[in-house]
Each structure stands twice: as structure tokens, then as C-alpha cells.
Structure 1
Amino acid sequence: MKASLDKLSAWLKERKITEVECLISDLTGIARGKISPTNKFLEEKGMRLPESVLLQTVTGDYVEDDIYFDLLDEADIDMFCRPDENAIFLVPWALEPTAMVIHDSFDKQGKPIDLSPRNILKKVLALYHQKGWQPIVAPEMEFYLTKRCNDPDFPLVAPVGRSGRPETGRQSFSIDAANEFDPLFEDMYDWCELQNLNLDTLIHEEGPAQMEINFRHGDALHLADQILVFKRTMREAALKHDVTATFMAKPITDEPGSAMHIHQSVIEVKTGKNIFSADDGSMSELFLHYIGGMQKYIPELLPLFAPNVNSFRRFLPDTSAPVNVEWGVENRTVGLRVPESNPQNRRVENRLAGADANPYLVLAATLLCGYMGMVGNVPPSAPVKGRGYERRNLRLPVTIESALERMEACKDAQQYLGESFMRGYVAVKRTEHENFKRVISSWEREFLLLSV
């Protein structure tokens, strides 16, 4: 711990940092924590937070008392959060020299907190480490830029770009449409470079002012940290230019949703060989079982990929999102796409996760599904050739309620993720959904007010 703090201290002093944002991710993916002067941050060697933060919903509410007090200490005690020296980032938009440091959460005995999303990902990565394997992932984050709107009853609309006009029609992969927001993206790239985020390409997606940022492939934990930081950075860059960046899964009616596509492969640590390829260069048995595991378990753990009621709007019929866990080579109409590549770069792309998913939990979930497939020798279905949207054999749950029921009953995943995490996550999402059901929508006012 001392060596870690020495490294952090040197990093902070070298950059003349005066303030540190100490943060963790809650179950919904919100960054929570404290802001501390640098000298106090180094004196305290971390921070304490109420462990109840990890059972907080997106609205700031908490789960019902019977679950709350079953999973947490009745005295609402603190957990102990320690900084990770490998998860420190500048805050380029701050007025004073500021850094954010991602922390890990422990109880007073020093045991990792079961409800911590970062600890959950570490737990899954440890399963791979025990086998002598290392997962490699490459996330792709889709999001919308929208005109700023203070009234949540008003629909979101495309912002005005450099031309002075809002975007219309479909502009997939359009360079000119992306260049409409050049000043914004120049700031975003400058800030991400200062933060050492491993960004790759920027793409204009199908929706109006819908964009995609690709990350370079790498370590899953480090990339989960980067996604958490990138979301904050993208929102701040947008606000600087008087627009909004949103990672909602389906923010605009009748427009494509926003996904987090996750490319994933696994290497053998000793040799550096991709275990998804056999010696002759063909798909290995482990690769096929990995796909089989994803097909079997993604529908069981769907709330980790689609965490909100809005997430399921991506899966409605006649959308551009895949609605099943079919797989195929170079096929974007199925949930699990295998891009053409050489044997060392063989990978599978999970196209089902929403951009609104918690990065730690969605990476943990997709890697765990594949792991359970490999250790359980789960066979995949036959690959799909041609259009896969209408395939109905391997469809996903269609509502958050049914998805939570299936997750709650998934004993195989509970064996690895722990009962406390499974119960706590399901309880948080049920509490959020109960809150959602109390809201009267504009659709109800429009069609029922004077008609029934």
C-alpha cells in the first residue's frame, strides 16, 4: 500500500494536482465518491463511504428494507475504499489541476465487498487467471449528441452543427456529418489523450448525430475503467459546446438504439496463443464452447447487458439491433458476430449490450458466460447464414421483469458472482422499475386522456 501511495504521490506532485476526485462505480454505473484536497487524500490513504451506496438506484432511492438489512449492516457502516495506482486520470475540464482516482472497496476485515462492480469483474478475471488465460476485449461505444433540453417531457432532437442546420435522414459512416461537430470532438480527443484513454476510430452511426467511439483492444479491467472515465469526458465535452451527449440505450423514438459492442478473445498467458484457434488455424473447441456459453447464459443474465427499462426498447421488432443470441461469421444481424480474421486475432463480438450498461458488470457478464461455456463444454447452435433478425429459437426476454426473474433463478452464475451480488443487483433494478411504473407517460395522456 505504501509503495502504491508513493507512486500516486509522485504522479500528483509532478502534475501539480491540487484536488482529487475519489470515486467508485455503483451498480448502475454512476461514479460516486468524494472530492479531496491532494494532501488530505495522501494522508488518509483512501476514503470511507457508506456501503449503502452500492444499493442505491439511478434515482437515488434504496431497495426495500428486508433486502437492504439482509445484505448490509443495520448500522449503515462504512466500507473502506483504496486507490488503485493504475486507475488515475486527469480531469482536463476542471478549473484547478484535478485528478480522478478509481478505488476498490473492502470491508473492515479487508475482504473485497461483494456488491462492488469492480470487484465482480476482478472475480471473473481471477477465474481466467487460474486457467492460465487472459481475456482481451475491445469495446465500441455508441451515443447520441442532442440539443440541450431541460424538460424531460419533450422529445430529444438532433443538435445544430457547424452548418447551422440539424441533421436529417440516415448518415451512416458520413465523414461530413461527423465533421459537423469537429470542435467538440477535437476537445474530446485532446482530453482523452491527456487521460491516456486508448481510443481508436470515430464513426458516425445510423441515427441523427449518433456516433461511435472504438477502443483499442486490451485488458478488461483497464478498459472498464476507461469507459467509466470516457462517459464522463464525453458528457463534459458536449456540455462545453452547448449540446448533450447521452448513452441511453434508446433515447429517440423510431431511431436506432445505442449499443456497447464488445469484441473478445482469450490468450494463453504462457505462450501468447489465442485459444480460440486450433493448431491448424480453424475454430477451436474452446471457441465453440465459448459461443455456446454466451448463447446459454446471456439470456439468463440479460439485466447486466440491458439494465434499464429503456434498454429493452432496443430489442423491439423492426429495430436495427439483434434480438437473439444466434451467431454467424461476418453477420451483423445476429447477436454474436464472428469477424473474419487470421487465427491469432480470432474473436467474437457481442452486439447485445446497451451503451447504458455498467462497464464493469457487462464485461464481467460476457466473459463469465463464455467461461461457463468453456468449462461446461456447452455446444453452440449451427451458425446463421443470411438474415438473422427473425430467428426465434434463441430470442431474448422482452421485458425487464421477465429478465430479472431469469437472472434471479440462474444458479450457475450465482456460483461465481455470489448470492449477495445477485440478490442486490436484482433488488436495485426492481426498485428502479417500480419507480418507473409510477410515472404517467405522454403516450397515456395523448391516447387515453379523452378517449377512454
Structure 2
Amino acid sequence: MNSDRKHFNFNDLEQWLDRHRVTEIECLVPDLTGVARGKILPRQKFTEDRGMRLPEAVVAMGVTGEFPSEGPYYDVISPTDHDMHLRPDPRTVRIVPWASDPTAQVVHDCYDKAGNIVPFAPRSVLRRVCELFEAEGWNPIVAPELEFYLVARNTDPDMPLKPPIGRSGRAETSRQAYSIDAVNEFDPLFEDVYSYCEQMELNVDTLIHEIGAGQMEINFFHDHPLGLADEVFFFKRTVREAAMRHNMFATFMAKPIAGEPGSAMHIHQSIVDAQGRNIFSNADGSASDMFRWYIGGLQKYIPAAMALFAPYVNSYRRLARFTAAPINIQWGTDNRTVGIRSPVASPAARRIENRVIGADANPYVALAATLACGYLGMKNRVEPTPECKGDAYLGDYQLPRSLGEALEKLRAERDLASVLGESFITVYTEVKEIEYAEFMKVISPWEREHLLLHV
């Protein structure tokens, strides 16, 4: 989060809106999928009300827009569809650079009528986890690396996605990892992306071309988890908007194109104490017990958290052997075949990279879940397995292979529920069951090709 924003209050917000001559406000709430929900208000009404109301189910529905019709979901969500009372977080205010009139966007937190935070809203879950760290005197620091694909415009869901046409007039057909020229194929688009990010004060760092055809990666500067989740949320909106203005789509699907690598959201994470010292390193520069236990927590709880890291049926297509995505919970130093990597770094910068998370994960949920795993590891002093120093792809699968299996593991893991909140786990798993049931109604081309005349 921009240092000028960290202590923004409502007076600062009003002055910011005046300075930018804002006439409209997009009042945003991230839902379970990370989609922006909310309302657009005139500046005067926003200033008078400083908030709005939405039905609580708005943040508790699936990617199809469906809700469960019965069951434990309604032990959390009122069947009478209560209102949430939304409060803007002044620190999140950003300009909407593509709007024709001066427009701002502000992320809101969700409260009930008694003033209690709504525990199943994704931003609330991340707040809850950050507060647990704060109670221990720990300050988590994270840095996401977010992969995505640029694809040709596609309005027919029955047609496979294809790489877009660049400045050369040709689509990519070969591997172009880290190619500068391949990125330059889309210079006009990325000029807009960087311009939008600058206007929105998003702290994006490096842009690279990844392995897949039309696959890119953007890195974010390290910061506090809540501010960075907001930035990833804003960035996804931004790059989608910019791509459409250049006659293409940007997608954060985990596996959008058959035969191409999937897209991840690798999250680097470390913890500093009240004096700003990295607790993953001892005074002599060696790795600390906390470092070891944090890894142990990731190893123990990642399998149960996979429905949060890989939230859709498509997510599990990415997690395959020898596809640049992990299939394991091994850990290793400077080893990209493991699910939990420790990059080479100075003692002050010692950190852990969770490589399991998909680009399709809700950034609030993903950050909350990976921090929860590490928190439980440190609190319970969970010892990791020995470091993997070889090719971890040669080992067994250690992660769920489907959304159904992942949901079973998440429901059964009570430690994660205690950290993330029982109501959130209930709402999340019930909604995901609805999505999974919807997917099972669809007959795929593979089934028609191989089963139609052969079984």
C-alpha cells in the first residue's frame, strides 16, 4: 500500500476526492470469487452516507451467481436476506482511469446492523488472520507474482481460446519465456496497463513473458497482506479493461488453453517483529525455528486448503506433473519443482514462496489461507519434512486431484476453520458444492470424442 495512504482517514478521503474533482464513486465489495460487487453513487450521496447497504448473500455466491437452496448455508446466511452495512476503507481509494467522468473506486468492508464485521466476507477473513498475527507481535509481509494470459476475443464458450495477434500480425506458436520481443508485441496494451496502474498508484514491479503463448506475469512490491490483496483485486480489473480496449481478453483462469502451462499466483511471505526484524532468521543469519515451523504448517495444511488455493474445477488441470506447477508439498531452497520454495536471499530477506496457488484464486482468500497455514505451523511448532534437493516431480502426488476431494479435506480440517472462521468455511464449501454440481451437468468434448461410439 502506498505509504501516503496507510493512515488515510475520512477527512483525507474527502480532500482526495476534491483534489481529483471526483463526481462519482464506485463502491466495491469483493465477493467469494474476487469479483467486484457494489453500487455507483454520486459524490454528494457518498459523502453524506459514507456507506451503503447490500444483501449479505452478494458476497456469498458462486461464479455462476447461484446460491444453495437449503442446508448449512442458511445457518449462516439469513433466509430473509438481511442487509449488510458497508463502510468505505479510505486507504483503498483509487481513480478509475478509464472512466469518461472523474470517477473513484473505494473498497468497502461489510458489517451487520449491530456493527459487527461480517465474518464470511473475503476481506473480513483476511483481516481476521492479520489480527491473529498482530496479537502475537508479528507483521506478515507478502509479495504476489501473478500470471495471466492474453487471448484473442472469444464470444463463443464452445470454442477453444487462442493466443491474440500482436503487432507483427502473427499469433505466438512457440515458447517465449522471458522474451522481451514477445512482450513488445503487445506494447500498446502494456503502455495502457502501466499508465492505468500509475494513475491508480498500484505498486506493480516487473512484467515478464511467461512460458505459455500469450502468458504474462506481473510482480508486486512486498507489503502488508490487506493492502496487497486490494492491489491484486484492482489490477485484475485493470488488465481486463485494458485488454478489451485492445480487442483481446485477459484471463486469470488457471488453465485456459490446452497444451499450455497454467497460471499461478505465487506468494512470497515472511514475518517481521515489532522492531522490523525478520523472524525467519536468527541473529547469526541462520534459519530460525519460526522459519522451519512456518514451512511445517504449510506442509500440514496446504492439502486441506486446496479448495481455497484452487477454487474451480479448471484449477486442477493446472496441477499436473512436469507442467511448471507443483503436485507436492515438498520444500526446497531455490527449487522450482517443489510446492514450497525458499528463494536464495539475505537473512533479512529470508522468505517462503507458496507455489501451489492458482491465478484464479480470490487474493483475499488465498492470502488469508496461506498465512493461516503458516500461523498454525508456528503456533503448533509443526516440524517440516527434510528439504527436497532433487526433482520433486518424480515423487507422488500430494495434493487433491479434484475440487470434490479438496472440499472434503477442507470441511474435515478443524484447525483451519478455527483460524479462518467456521461461518466462512461453511459458506465457502456450500457455494463450491453448487458450482461443482453445475459443472457436472456439462458434457465435455472429450467425453463425446472417446465415449460416444466406444463404450
The reply to whether TM is greater than 0.5 is: yes
Matched residue, 2:119: 114
1:275 equivalenced with 2:279 (yes/no): yes
Quote the offset at 1:325 in angstroms. 0.9
Shift in Å at residue 233 of structure 1?
0.1
Question: Structure 1, residues 301-358: CA drift from partner, whole Å, max 9, x if none?
Answer: 1111101110011112332211111000000000011011110000011111000000
The answer to whether the 8 A contact 1:307-1:356 is kept is yes
**In the alignment, what sits opposite 1:442?**
445
User: Is 1:37–2:42 an aligned residue pair?
Assistant: yes
**Given the alignment of the two structures, is residue 238 of structure 1 paired with residue 234 of structure 2, yes or no?**
no
Aligned to 1:23: 28
310-319 vs 324-333, which moves further: 310-319
Cα distance, 1:300 vs. partner? 1.0
1:303 aligns with 2:307: yes
Structure-2 residue corresponding to 1:399:
402
Contact 1:55/1:68, CA 8 A, preserved across alignment = no
Residues 106-255 of structure 1 correspond to what in structure 2 (within 5 A)? 106-255=111-260
Query: Offset of 1:299 from its aligned partner?
Result: 0.6
Q: Cα distance, 1:444 vs. partner? A: 2.1
Structure 1 range deviating more: 245-254 or 88-97 = 88-97
Give the fraction of aligned pairs with identical amino acids, expressed as a percent. 55
Tell me which amino acid in the other structure corresponds to 2:362. Answer: N
Query: Contact 2:120 / 2:421 at 8 angstroms: preserved in 1?
Result: no
Match of 2:61 among 25, 39, 56: 56
1:177 alignment partner AA? A
Partner of 2:335: 331
Show CA shifts across 1:351-395 (max 9, x none): 110000000010001111001000100000111112111222x71
My pick for the range that moved more, 381-390 or 185-194, is: 381-390
Structure 1 contact 311–356 (Cα < 8 Å) conserved: yes
CA distance in 2, matches of 1:52, 1:7: 31
What is the total number of aligned residue pairs between the two structures? 448
CA distance in 2, matches of 1:322, 1:417: 24
Instruction: Give the conservation status (yes or no) of the 8 Å contact 1:22–1:35.
Output: yes
Corresponding residue SS for 2:26: strand
AA of the residue aligned to 2:442: V
Instruction: Work out whether residues 50 and 79 of structure 1, in 8 Å CA contact, stay in contact via their aligned partners in 2.
Output: yes
Q: CA deviation at 1:447?
A: 2.7
Q: Distance in 2 between matches of 1:135 and 1:38?
A: 35
Partner of 1:419: 422
Q: In the TM superposition, what is the alpha-carbon distance from 1:442 to its structure 2 partner? A: 1.8
Amino acid at match of 2:290: L
Aligned CA-pair RMSD: 1.1
1:348 aligns with 2:352: yes
Per-residue CA deviation, residues 374-433 of structure 1 (Å, 9 max, x unaligned), is 0100000111112111222x7101111111001001111111222111111001111101
* Contact in 2 for aligned 1:153/1:442 (Cα 8 Å): no
Measured in 2, the distance between the counterparts of 1:119 and 1:362 equals 13
Query: 1:58 Cα shift?
Result: 0.3
* Cα-to-partner distance string for 1:229-276 (whole Å, 9 max, x where unaligned): 00000000100100100000000001100000000100012x111000
**TM-score relative to the length of structure 1:** 0.97
- The residue type paired with residue 81 of structure 1 is L
2:383 to 375, 379, 383: 379
Q: Residue 81 of structure 1: CA displacement? A: 0.6
**Structure 1 residue ranges (4+ consecutive) displaced by more than 6 angstroms after TM superposition:** none
Q: Secondary structure at the match of 2:277?
A: coil
Alignment partner of 1:92 out of 85, 92, 97: 97
CA distance in structure 1 between the partners assigned to 2:72 and 2:184 by the alignment: 50
Which whole-Å CA distance do the structure 2 matches of 1:301 and 1:379 have between them?
Answer: 18
Offset at residue 47 of structure 1 (A): 0.9
SS in structure 2 at match of 1:299? helix
- Residue 113 of structure 1 aligns with an amino acid whose one-letter code is V
TM-score normalised to structure 2 length: 0.97
Q: Is the 8 A contact 2:73 2:426 kept in 1?
A: no
- Distance (Å, rounded) in 1 between the aligned partners of 2:322 and 2:403: 19
